[in-house]
Structure 1
C-alpha cells in the first residue's frame, strides 16, 4: 500500500493535470463505486474524468511511475464486478470522452470515443441511413468502450457477430502511457498480428481503450417477428436451421424462453401466446422493406407448423407489435427487481447441447433445493443462455453452492462460464473451467509484458 505522502503527491499532480475533472474523498460520486453486480470494492483515491487520449496517457504514466492502481470505467452496467474500485485506486471514467467523430456512409464506418453511449451510436448510424448492429438491454447507459472491453454480445449476434466483429480499429493506452493508434478503417488488413484483439474482451487489464473505428451495416426499415411455442428444444433447432436456410442466413434474433421464464415474464409484459408450453422462441428478421418479405417469413412458420416443430405462433402485424413481443424477452429487468433476490448466470455450451444442459441444471438445482425457482432464457443461435435463480433465500442455500452446481455442469458440457458478460471479480474462481492452464499462463505473460507493475484493473479476470 502506498504511503500517505506519496498518495498526496499523486493527487496534487492529478489535480494540476485535470483541473475540475477530478473528484476526491467524500466528493467522489457514489454512483461510481459499483456496477450492476453485487460485488463490493475498496475506497478509491480519486475519480478522474479525462477529456482526451493525451490526458489518459498522462494519467497512466503518472500512476505507473508511482505504482497506483487504475480501474477504467464505462457506463457501469457490468454484471461481473469488472469496474468496481480496488483499494486506493484511481477510477478512470471515460464518460467525458463521448464524441461521435465521423460517419462515413460509403465506407460503412464510424469513429467514436470510448465514452460514447451505445444508444447514441445506434441513433447516429440510423440517422445516416446505416445500422450499428450491437444491441443489448443497457443500450441507454452502457458505453462503447465498456462494450469493447467486455466483447459484449447482445440480441443480434446470430447475424452480425459479437462486438469483436464490429470493430475495425482501436486506439488504446498502455499502462506506461504509450498510445497505440490502431485506427484501421479497412475490413481486410493482414499486416502482421492485429493487436486490437489484445484489448477486446480484456476488461481493461491490458490497456485503456479510448477511441474506436466501428463497422456499420446498411440501415433497416423494421423487422418481421413472431413468437412461437414448441414442445422441446430439438424442435427449436429444427426451426432455426430451416429458417436460416430459407431466409439465406438473415435471421436476426432467435431468443428462447423456457416455460417458467415465460410464465414469470407474463407478470410484467403482455404474453402473445398462452402459457403452459415447455418452450417459446422469439424470432425476427430485420430488413430494409420488411413488408415485402412478410410472405417469405410467414412461409417459414407455416412449414414449421406442418412439420410439427411448432405448435402455436403469433406473428407481429406492425412495428409496434414487434417491439411489444420484445417486452417479454426484456422482462428480465423487472423479474430481477420484483422476484429477487436473484443469482444470475451467463453461460454457453455447444448449440446442440443447450437443451440437455438446461435440463441437467434444472434437475440438479431442484434435487438440492426442492421448489427453488430457476428461469432459463437466451440467444440460442449463438450458443448462449442465461439463468436466473430467484427467491433462493427461501431455502437458505449458500450462493456459492448454487454457482458450483451450475458451473460444474457447464464444465461437463465443455461450455463457458461467461458467454458475454465477462469475468471481472465475480467469475474468477471458475475461469479455469473454460480456459486451460496453458491459456491462463499465456494470458499472464501478456499481462506482465504490457503492465509489469500490475496497475490496470488489478485483481480482475486474472490473479
Structure 2
C-alpha cells in the first residue's frame, strides 16, 4: 500500500498528496451524513494530465479510488470506503473560456456552480442550472449526477445543458471531446456515457456548457393553495397560459413550509393564515411591464377559480429572494431533524397524489412519531421527502417503505443525486434486471479492474 502512496508523493509532492494527519475531515463525508473511512491518501490534481497520471498509477496496482467534488451529494457516493484513495478535484477550479459567438462556457470540473453562473452574468449571458448548494457543488459533480435543479421544466437537466466533456478513463486514457456545437452526429455521443454515471466510468475534468441570453424580466410569486389537485391544476394553467416562460414551479407542503418559517431566522411567511400547500413560481420574459401584467392575470384567474387561496407577487429582487430563502431552507432543517432519510425521488405527475396518499399513512403506521418534511419541483416529477424519527436505527426501515412504494408507482429512487452507496440496494425498484446487466457490462468494459468508485451504483 505504501508503494502507491510513495509513487504518488514522488510524482506530485506533499502539496498535492495528503496523508495521515494532514487529511481533514472534509474528505471523509458528504451531505448524506454517512461517516466514511479516512482515505489512505488524498490526491489533489491540477490538470487533466495529472488526473491521467494518478489513474495510470492506481490502475497498474489495482488501487481503488473515490472521486470527490463539492461533497454535496446525499447518496454517499463520494464518501471513502475501506482502503481507498480520494481524488479531489478542488484545485481544478476555474473558467477556461467563454465563447460569446457559440454561446458556450468551458470550465474545469472542480469549478463551483455559482462561479459559472457569475461568469455567465459578467459576460451578459445566463447559465440556467441552479440549486441551493450552488456555492459548494461543482460542475463536475453536477455532470456526474445529471443534476436538475430549479429550472428543469424550461431548460432541462445537466444532460441538456452539456455540449462537451473531457474525461479520463480508469486506465488513464484521456477522452477529449470539448464540443461546442448543438448538432454533432459524428458517431457515438460519448459524453452521455459519463453524464449521470456518478464517476463509475471515468473522471470528468473539463465541461462545455450552453449559455442563454439573459432574461430582461423575471416575475416571481409565492402562492398558497388549498390541496394538491389545485397544485396540479395551477401547474397546467401556468403551462397553458405562459408557455415555456415558466422556469420554476416549486411546491412546499405545509409541514416543510411552516418548519422553515419556525427554524430559519431569515425566513418569513407573507401569509397570515395556515395553508396546506405553497407554490413558488417564476416566469421569465423580455418585457417587464407586459410580462408582469400577463403573470398577474394568470394568477388572478387561478384565484377566481379557487386554485389559489392567496398569493404575493414579488415587487423587487429582494422580495423574490426572500421567497427562495424559504424554498432553500432544507439545509438548516436537516441540521435540527437529527437522523433522517433525505430522499430525492421522482414519481409520474399523474401518480403523485395517489403516491403521497399511500406513503404518508404507511410511514405513520410504522412510525407514529415520524416527522415528514416534503417539497419538490413537481413540474419535473421530482419530490424531496425528508423523513425521520431522530433515531438512526429507524433509517433503513423508513427508506425501505419509501423506495418500495416508488417501485409500485413506476417512479425513480433517484431524481438527481444519484444512487451512490445508500440507494444501491433499491436500484431494482427503478431498473429492470436487463438494464442493470447492461450497466454492469459497460462498467466491466471501461473499468475492468473495478478501481473507480467501486461499490457505488452497482
Instruction: Tell me the TM-score normalised to structure 2 length.
Output: 0.96
Residue of structure 2 aligned with 1:378, choices 368, 376, 379: 376
- 1:139 maps to 134
Give the whole-Å Cα distance in 2 for the aligned partners of 1:21 and 1:434: 40
Contact 2:64 2:454 in 1 (8 A): yes
Contact 1:263 1:275 in 2 (8 A): no
| Shift in Å, 1:39 | 2.0
Residue of structure 1 aligned with 2:355, choices 357, 370, 373: 357
Q: Does structure 1 residue 180 correspond to structure 2 residue 143?
A: no
**Structure 2 CA distance for partners of 1:104 and 1:90, relative to 1, 3 Å:** same
Q: Does structure 1 residue 117 correspond to structure 2 residue 112?
A: yes
Give the whole-Å Cα distance in 2 for the aligned partners of 1:290 and 1:258: 30
In structure 2, the gaps of 5 or more residues are none
Give the whole-Å Cα distance in 2 for the aligned partners of 1:275 and 1:409: 33
Residue of structure 1 aligned with 2:430, choices 434, 446, 461: 434
Give the whole-Å Cα distance in 2 for the aligned partners of 1:63 and 1:105: 39
Q: Does structure 1 residue 91 correspond to structure 2 residue 86?
A: yes
Residue of structure 1 aligned with 2:455, choices 436, 439, 459: 459
Residue of structure 2 aligned with 1:420, choices 416, 428, 431: 416
| Shift in Å, 1:158 | 0.9
| Shift in Å, 1:373 | 1.9
Give the whole-Å Cα distance in 1 for the aligned partners of 2:358 and 2:288: 39
Residues 189-204 of structure 1 correspond to what in structure 2 (within 5 A)?
Answer: 189-204=184-199
What do the CA deviations read for 1:261-280 (whole angstroms, capped 9, x no partner)? 12212212101223422211
| Shift in Å, 1:372 | 2.3
Give the whole-Å Cα distance in 1 for the aligned partners of 2:289 and 2:339: 43
| Shift in Å, 1:291 | 4.0
Q: Does structure 1 residue 408 correspond to structure 2 residue 400?
A: no
- 2:123 maps to 128
Contact 1:222 1:319 in 2 (8 A): no
- 1:335 maps to 333
What do the CA deviations read for 1:102-142 (whole angstroms, capped 9, x no partner)? 10122110011101111000000001111111101111111
Q: Does structure 1 residue 21 correspond to structure 2 residue 16?
A: yes
| Shift in Å, 1:427 | 0.6
SS of residue paired to 1:245:
helix
**Structure 2 CA distance for partners of 1:147 and 1:77, relative to 1, 3 Å:** same
SS of residue paired to 2:251:
strand
SS of residue paired to 2:295:
helix
What do the CA deviations read for 1:36-85 (whole angstroms, capped 9, x no partner)? 11223233221111111111111101100100011111011111100011
Contact 2:367 2:389 in 1 (8 A): no
Q: Does structure 1 residue 225 correspond to structure 2 residue 220?
A: yes
Q: Does structure 1 residue 367 correspond to structure 2 residue 353?
A: no
Q: Which runs of 4+ in 1 moved over 6 A?
A: none
In structure 1, the gaps of 5 or more residues are 1-6
- 2:56 maps to 61
| Shift in Å, 1:326 | 1.0
Moved more, 277-286 or 122-131: 277-286
Q: Does structure 1 residue 160 correspond to structure 2 residue 155?
A: yes
Residue of structure 1 aligned with 2:95, choices 100, 123, 126: 100
Instruction: Tell me the TM-score normalised to structure 1 length.
Output: 0.95
**Structure 2 CA distance for partners of 1:186 and 1:265, relative to 1, 3 Å:** same
What do the CA deviations read for 1:218-240 (whole angstroms, capped 9, x no partner)? 11345211111222222212111
- 1:299 maps to 297
Residues 230-249 of structure 1 correspond to what in structure 2 (within 5 A)?
Answer: 230-249=225-244
- 2:272 maps to 274
Q: Does structure 1 residue 398 correspond to structure 2 residue 394?
A: yes
Give the whole-Å Cα distance in 1 for the aligned partners of 2:431 and 2:359: 21
- 1:78 maps to 73
| Shift in Å, 1:432 | 0.7
Contact 1:150 1:200 in 2 (8 A): yes
Give the whole-Å Cα distance in 2 for the aligned partners of 1:451 and 1:275: 57
